Chain A
Amino acid sequence: MTEHFPALIVVGPLLAGLLIAAAGWFNRKACFPMAGLTLLWVLWMCIGLTLRVVTSGSIDYHLGGWAPPWGIAYRVDFLNGIVLVVVALVAFLNLLASWNSVEREMADKAGAFYSLYVLFTTGLLGMVVTADAFNLYVLLEIASLTAYALLGMGDGRSALSGLHYVFMGTIGASFYLLGVGYIYLVTGTLNMADIAARLPALYSNGTVLLAFILCMTGLFIKMALLPLHMWLPNAYANAPSLSASLIAPLTTKVMLYVMIRIGLNLFSPSFTFEISGLAPAMVWVAVIAIVAGSVMALFQKRLKRMLAYIVVAEVGYMVGGFWLGNRAAVTGAILHIVNDAMMTLCVFLAAALIVHRLRTDNFSDLKGLFRKMPFTMAAFVVGGLSIIGVPPLCGFFSKWYLISGGIIAGHYGFVAALLLSSLINAVLFFRIIEIGYFEPLPGSDGHHHEPPAKMDEAPLGMLVPLWAAAGLLLVLGVYSGDIATRIIQFAIPEAIL
């Protein structure tokens, strides 16, 4: 069965998602264990695939036995193996934490929630594993449609911001589809390897450049690169916490992976970084995204909104690192996809736990939180330190690669933006720590004889995944050198120095 893993990681959860929806009609208690087992199985398969790639090289899989370019091919290599593991891991950990929250907030919709949850993971895994440009679009839409529904499920303004996300997301996906149409127009094929073989002869053709720009623009909308980020803060901040903590770490990162895949493997690096002529402009766009995202995060008064703007800034890190186009910076961008997914999961999960207890995430309500929820806040601090970039947590190492890539390229604007953003992140997180630790509790007069606050920690079922995510930040930090030299090293074409 192991040879069918590349297909099973997509087909398995796809069928399971439908079964979960059906099970929800009869017994909604069955939905959570079914989703948990499915994602655990998927995680096991993803880890197995990645280990096989590390030991014996890339895996090609032809769906239905049809050889490419006629059939659809799936491919696991050094670039996407590690992304597969991260997607499956984040989805699994977040699922464990969702049980208490779903039971309390939308028990009647549990079947729909878990079904959409698993289908969303299906779409992302498919996007990562596919080697077919049109198949990627279909899976992108599977992930997007389920994400719209998951984000729009909550109360308050979530439906309206979800609808705005539908508009922006559809424009993005349609641009990508149009770009694929242009590629098909000039090459007559949709298989990525086949396209890559035929394109170099056509690089002087204006249609190819337009196709490249259309695909990239679509992806930039989907990954919320500033100034195309307007949908993201509202959609993530107003959504149900556990939907946001699933989608915030994964959607933008997988779209970044697709950008890297298209930039390195569909088009050759020489086209992406030199012939297209976009690279210098894109690095500056990324610089603006980093600075503006960080500065806008400073002005937020709600925890989840602040975190959403940090996501916008982090997208800038990876876009900038990729378009710098040297080995260190691209390594940093790929490593940061892995690290940032875990860091974002950690802080968004912590925010979800806080919202689960306090039912609010306004800064003014976070007072005394360290006494009330010490374990949650400790994990939040770990996540925050990693985003700031404190060694030995993983955020430091990818930032180190990105900064050294910026120095090698001589792009000091990018380096300065990264350092400034780290500084602002420090301000952001220490402000939360200050509010939670030092500000007097509501109701006390601020003197020393205030009554000690009762501990009112989140349920254990939510704390364990949060701490697993926080622990993984440390593990990833310790092993980031190995990940860079034994996996990412081989993912980057040799043409990139």
Chain B
Amino acid sequence: MDALLSFVIAKYNYWVVVLLIMIGLYAMIAKNNLVKKIIGMNIFQTAIILFYISIGAKKGATIPITFGEHGPPVAAADFINPLPHVLMLTAIVVSVATLGVALALALKVFRQYGTLEEDDIHSQIRKE
């Protein structure tokens, strides 16, 4: 039990990510409302962003700003890894853009069918 507990606690960042991914996937698969699906999609993307952020972290390290040539020599262990964070700036932009496109399409669907519930939309399509 102790071994299991320490296994869970030592890797808690991954467990959080797994949980968020599952919540996102569940919302995308099981929810009937299109906006709820879009929210699920966003949770899913955010989980992956958090995964990247967490792998850049180091215990006892500080923000990666060096003093240039005049400062003390740089010890990599003292600084968190900035690269995953920079990558995630791009990924955040991508996820915002995806959200925008998805909401625009949802708006178009709403104007066409007057509802965002998928069941209602499908029953309307079947009537056509």
Q: Are B125 and A157 in contact (CB under 8 A)?
A: yes
Q: How far is the CA of A12 from the CA of B102 in the complex (A)?
A: 27
Interface residues of A in 177-225 (CB under 8 A from B): 177-178, 181, 184-185, 190
B51 within 8 A of A: yes
User: Known contacts A141-B97, A149-B101, A185-B55: does B106 contact A163 (CB below 8 Å)?
Assistant: yes
Interface residues of A in 143-159 (CB under 8 A from B): 145, 148-149, 152, 157, 159
Q: Are B112 and A141 in contact (CB under 8 A)?
A: no
Chain B 89-120, CB-CB to A under 8 Å as 1, else 0, gives 01100100110011011101100100000000
B121 within 8 A of A: yes
B52 within 8 A of A: yes
* Chain A min CB distance to B112 (Å): 7
Q: Of all chain A residues, which has the CB nearest B113? A: A160
B residues near A26, Cβ cutoff 8 Å: none
A174 within 8 A of B: yes
Q: Are A162 and B105 in contact (CB under 8 A)?
A: yes
B80 within 8 A of A: no
Q: How far is the CA of A141 from the CA of B121 in the complex (A)?
A: 28
Q: Are A166 and B84 in contact (CB under 8 A)?
A: no
Q: How far is the CA of A166 from the CA of B107 in the complex (A)?
A: 14
Q: Are B109 and A160 in contact (CB under 8 A)?
A: yes
* Chain B min CB distance to A123 (Å): 12
User: Known contacts A149-B101, A159-B112: does B28 contact A171 (CB below 8 Å)?
Assistant: yes
Q: Are B121 and A171 in contact (CB under 8 A)?
A: no
Q: Are A184 and B109 in contact (CB under 8 A)?
A: no
Q: How far is the CA of A177 from the CA of B17 in the complex (A)?
A: 14
A residues near B25, Cβ cutoff 8 Å: 171
Q: How far is the CA of A141 from the CA of B41 in the complex (A)?
A: 15
Q: How far is the CA of A134 from the CA of B91 in the complex (A)?
A: 10
Q: Are A181 and B101 in contact (CB under 8 A)?
A: no
Q: How far is the CA of A138 from the CA of B97 in the complex (A)?
A: 12
| Size class of the contact patch on chain B | 20 to 34
Q: Are A177 and B48 in contact (CB under 8 A)?
A: yes
User: Known contacts A141-B97, A145-B97: does B48 contact A167 (CB below 8 Å)?
Assistant: no
Q: Are B105 and A178 in contact (CB under 8 A)?
A: no
Q: Of all chain B residues, which has the CB nearest A144? A: B98
Q: Are B98 and A166 in contact (CB under 8 A)?
A: yes
Q: How far is the CA of A184 from the CA of B90 in the complex (A)?
A: 16
Q: How far is the CA of A39 from the CA of B101 in the complex (A)?
A: 25
Q: Are A174 and B101 in contact (CB under 8 A)?
A: no
Q: Are B94 and A141 in contact (CB under 8 A)?
A: yes
B residues near A276, Cβ cutoff 8 Å: none
Q: How far is the CA of A171 from the CA of B51 in the complex (A)?
A: 15
A404 within 8 A of B: no
Q: Are B108 and A184 in contact (CB under 8 A)?
A: no
A58 within 8 A of B: no
* Chain B min CB distance to A376 (Å): 28
* Chain A min CB distance to B103 (Å): 10
A170 within 8 A of B: yes
Q: How far is the CA of A174 from the CA of B25 in the complex (A)?
A: 12
Checking A157, A163, A171 against B44 with a beta-carbon cut-off of 8 angstroms, the contacting residue is A171
Q: Of all chain B residues, which has the CB nearest A138? A: B90
Q: Among the interface residues B28, B55, B91, B105, which one has the most CB atoms of the partner chain A within 10 A? A: B105
B19 within 8 A of A: no
A interface residues (Cβ-Cβ under 8 A, vs B): 134, 137-138, 141, 145, 148-149, 152, 157, 159-160, 162-163, 166-167, 170-171, 174, 177-178, 181, 184-185, 190
Given A184-B55, A185-B55, 13 extra CB contacts under 8 A: A138-B90, A138-B94, A141-B97, A145-B98, A149-B101, A159-B105, A160-B121, A163-B102, A166-B105, A167-B28, A167-B102, A171-B44, A190-B87
B interface residues (Cβ-Cβ under 8 A, vs A): 25, 28, 34, 37, 41, 44-45, 48, 51-52, 55, 84, 87, 90-91, 94, 97-98, 101-102, 104-106, 108-109, 112, 121, 125
- Give 11 CB contacts A-B under 8 Å: A141-B98, A148-B102, A152-B105, A157-B125, A159-B109, A160-B109, A166-B41, A167-B41, A170-B41, A171-B28, A181-B52
